[in-house]
Structure 1
Amino acid sequence: MNYGDIAPPSMEVEIGYDNWEAHGSLRTCYPNNTIDVVNLHSSSNINVRGRWAFATSLQSEGFSCGYSSAPGIFYPFGSAAGDTFSFRSDDGSSPLIPLLPSFPYFGRTYQQIYVNHNGDLTFNQPLFQYVPNEFPENSTRDIIAPFWIDLDNRGKGSISYQQYTTGDVLQNATRDVNSYFPNVTFTATWVFVATWDRVAYFPNTGTETTFQVVLISDSNLSFVFMNYGAIAPTLQKAQIGYDTIGSSHHVSLRTFYPNNTIDVVNLHSSSNINVQGRWAFATSLRSEGASYDVVGVKLKVSSAENLSEDEIEERILKPFGDLLKKRGIDVSDIRLRRFYKTEL
C-alpha cells in the first residue's frame, strides 16, 4: 500500500485487510486507534516512507506495525544469540543478573544489573515504575534508560539479554567504540546486550516497539549504545538517556528535540554519532589509559558591564554549553579556567 498526499477527510476511514481468519488494520498502529491519514505518506512498517507491506499467505507473520526485523545496527539478540528471555509481566523486571566482570559507571562499580520491562536498566534494585521521571531527577539511583515508558510484554513481544566475554561481539564493540570515540584507545573485554523486540505499549497490545541497549567495558572505561528500530507512535511520555545518583552526570534526548519533546517515531533515523538509529555515550569517569582532547574556546564579549566570574558562567558559558549539548557533545566537564578583562 503506497501513499502520496492525503487530504484531511471528513469521515472515518479503514486501511488494512480482512478475511475469515486473518486481519490487519493500520488503526492499531496509531494512538487512540485513530488513523493519521494526513501523515500516511511519511509512515511505514518497513522503513520505506509511504509504503506498508504485508505477507498475505498462510503460515506467515502477516500484519505488523513495526519492521519485519531489527535494523542492521542491532547487536545479535534473541534465541539465535542464546539470549535469556525475561518472563512475561506488565511492569515487571528480570531477576538479578550477576555481571561476569564488574561494570564501571561514572565512578561507581556494579557487579549486578536488572533489565526492567518498562525500558530501563538499574543496578541496586529493580524498577517497576511505568511513568518515567525526567532527567536529571536528582534521585538516589543510577539508571540507564534506552526507552523508559509504559510497556507490556504479556501479549506481544519479547525482552531478552545476554553478556559476552569472547567472540565477534567483542570485536564489533571494540571497532565501534574506537570509531565513535577516536581519542580513546580501547579494547572491549565485556559486552551486555538487552533487547526489547516488538513489545507493545500498555494498554494497546496492537503496537510494536523495538529497541536495544548495549553496555561495553574494558573494566576501566565504559560506553553505552542505544539502538532503535521501529517505535510505534504514542501519546505517552517517554524518557531516554541516563542519570546518576544526585544527577552529577546525566543526559536526556529530550534536550536534542524542539520544545523538549522526544520524536519517538523517528528515533530510528536520529543519532549523535552519524549512525542512523544509534546513540552512543561514554559512561566512565576519565581515567589513565585514555586520551582526551582539551579544547580551548575564546569568546569575545563586548559589553558596558563588568561581569563577575559567576555572571560569566551563567550568562555566557551556560548558553554555550546548551548549544554544545544540542550537538551531542558531553558538556559535564566544561569549566571556566581563565578569564581576562581587556579595555576597549
Structure 2
Amino acid sequence: MVICHILLLYSYTSSPFPLSYPIIAPYWADVDTRGTGSVYYRETSSASIISTVASHVSNAFPSQSPFYATSVVIATWYRVGYYNRHTDKVEVSNGFGGTPAQVGFNAGDNTNYYAVPGSETSSIVNIETTSNVGVAGMWVFK
C-alpha cells in the first residue's frame, strides 16, 4: 500500500528514496491478494484512537509543539501473498518474489525523506520487532 496523491502508481515494486514525488509508504511491496489474503484500510475520526495516536506522537517528540490529529488511517495486511499469485509465504513481509518492501515517507523534493532501516533489504521482515519510539512495531514521524 502506498499513499500518493500526485500521480497514479502502476508499479507494485518499490523504489528507493528519494523520489521526485511525495509518497507515504507504510508498506510498499509486491503484495498480491489474487491468490490469498486481503489488505484492509480505513480512515477514522474516533476520539479514542486519535487521542492514542496524538499521545504516541507527543511522547516521541516531547520538544515539539503539541500534535493534533483530525483523523487516522489504519492499514492491515492479512495473510497476503506475493506476486504472481504466490501463496506459499503468506504473512511474510519482505517482498519475497521481488524487491523487498520500502517503508517510510518521501516529500518529493529530493531532500526530505526517510526510509525505515532495513527497507529494500530482506531484514524488513523484522519491522514488527523494531521501532524509533521504543514500542515494537511502531514507527512515528511528525
TM-score of the superposition, structure 1-length normalised? 0.37
> Structure 1: where are the runs of 5+ without partners?
1-118, 210-229, 283-344
- 1:142 maps onto 2:22 in alignment: yes
> Structure 2: where are the runs of 5+ without partners?
none
Query: CA offset at residue 194 of structure 1?
Result: 2.6
In 2, Cα distance between equivalents of 1:161 and 1:131: 20
Give identity over the alignment, percent: 31
Instruction: Report the equivalent of 2:137.
Output: 277
Question: Per-residue CA shift, 1:13-34, capped at 9, x if unaligned?
Answer: xxxxxxxxxxxxxxxxxxxxxx
Report the secondary structure of 2:76's partner residue. Answer: strand
| 1:174-193 map, 5 Å | 174-183=54-63, 184-193=65-74
Question: Per-residue CA shift, 1:101-150, capped at 9, x if unaligned?
Answer: xxxxxxxxxxxxxxxxxx2111133322022211012x2x2111122121
Report the secondary structure of 1:120's partner residue. Answer: coil
Instruction: Report the equivalent of 1:124.
Output: 6
Instruction: Report the equivalent of 1:173.
Output: 53
**Aligned partner (choices 199, 202, 205) of residue 80 of structure 2:** 199
Runs of 4+ in structure 1 deviating by more than 6 angstroms, as ranges, are none
In 1, Cα distance between equivalents of 2:50 and 2:9: 28
- 1:247 maps onto 2:113 in alignment: no
CA contact (8 A) 1:151 1:199 kept: yes
CA contact (8 A) 2:94 2:123 kept: no
- 1:157 maps onto 2:37 in alignment: yes
Instruction: Report the equivalent of 1:57.
Output: none
Query: CA offset at residue 153 of structure 1?
Result: 0.9
Instruction: Report the equivalent of 1:44.
Output: none
Bigger relative contact order, structure 1 or 2 (CA pairs below 8 A, ≥6 apart): 2
Query: CA offset at residue 276 of structure 1?
Result: 0.8
Query: CA offset at residue 156 of structure 1?
Result: 1.3
Describe the shift of the 1:162–1:153 C-alpha distance in structure 2 as closer, same or farther (beyond 3 A). Answer: same
- The count of corresponding residues between Structure 1 and Structure 2 is 138
Report the secondary structure of 1:192's partner residue. Answer: strand
CA contact (8 A) 2:29 2:95 kept: no
Q: Aligned letter for 1:146?
A: P
In 1, Cα distance between equivalents of 2:95 and 2:28: 14
